[in-house]
Amino acid sequence: MRLRKLEPHESSLLRELRLRALQDAPGSFRDTYSDMAARPSSYWDELTRSVTEANQNVMFLAYEGDHPVGSAFALVDRVRSRTGRAGGMWVEPQWRRRGIGEALLQEVINWARERDFERLQLWCAVDAVGPSSLYRKAGFKETGNQQPLSEESAFRVAEMELPL
């Protein structure tokens, strides 16, 4: 397995991975496949820019050979300057339980520590046993905050936090 950051010219790769994740796990993400698939290329270009600018957000990618098999976003919290956010964690189903999610999450944690954040937060689907156990193993704990995944969804998400 090889990890790397998304590059500024890779908006089509970002789109491909995000749509694969939304198709695979629709109850894990706020966005829907149909909404995101309909977005124009300018949306994907802007999203790519937002995760490839220096000292800002980042998207980490996991590869097996030449094939991207997972991704994770590391985001600066827009409200709390000393807080980072993990998001969009996804690993292709056939590559799960091989340490890829753990490696991606560790990259996000390292990113947050390098920025001297006090905490790293994320939202996890309440019924997502695999992801929640991954996050707990890394030291995340639920904050007690829960909310619906979206206005249209019956799924609920719980906020988790890792003190850094």
* The pLDDT of residue 119: 96
What is the rounded average pLDDT for all residues in the chain?
Answer: 92
Nearest to 75 by CA among 56, 100, 89, 102: 56
pLDDT tens, residue by residue, 6-33: 999 999 999 999 999 999 988 788 888 9
Quote the CA–CA distance of 126 and 142 in Å, as a whole number: 10
* The pLDDT of residue 125: 84
Q: Where are the domains of the chain?
A: 2-163
Which CATH number applies to 2-163: 3.30.365.10, 3.30.43.10, 3.40.630.30, 3.40.50.720? 3.40.630.30
User: Please, what is the end-to-end C-alpha distance for the chain in angstroms?
Assistant: 26
Quote the CA–CA distance of 61 and 59 in Å, as a whole number: 7
Helix ranges, the chain (H): 11-24, 33-37, 41-50, 100-114, 129-137
Quote the CA–CA distance of 86 and 112 in Å, as a whole number: 9
pTM (two decimals): 0.92
Inter-residue contact 103 to 64 (CB < 8 Å): no
Indicate whether 128 pLDDT > 90.
Answer: no
pLDDT band at 144 (very low <50, low <70, confident <90, very high): very high
- DSSP label at 7? P
* The pLDDT of residue 43: 97
Residues 120-133, mean pLDDT to the nearest whole number: 86
Indicate whether 37 pLDDT > 90.
Answer: yes
Sheet containing strand 141-148, edge to edge, reads 2-5, 58-64, 67-76, 83-91, 119-125, 156-163, 141-148
pLDDT tens, residue by residue, 75-110: 998 888 899 999 999 999 999 999 999 999 999 999
- What is each CA distance from 107 to 5, 31, 62, 151, 164, in whole angstroms? 10, 23, 10, 31, 14
* The pLDDT of residue 11: 97
pLDDT tens, residue by residue, 58-73: 999 999 999 999 999 9
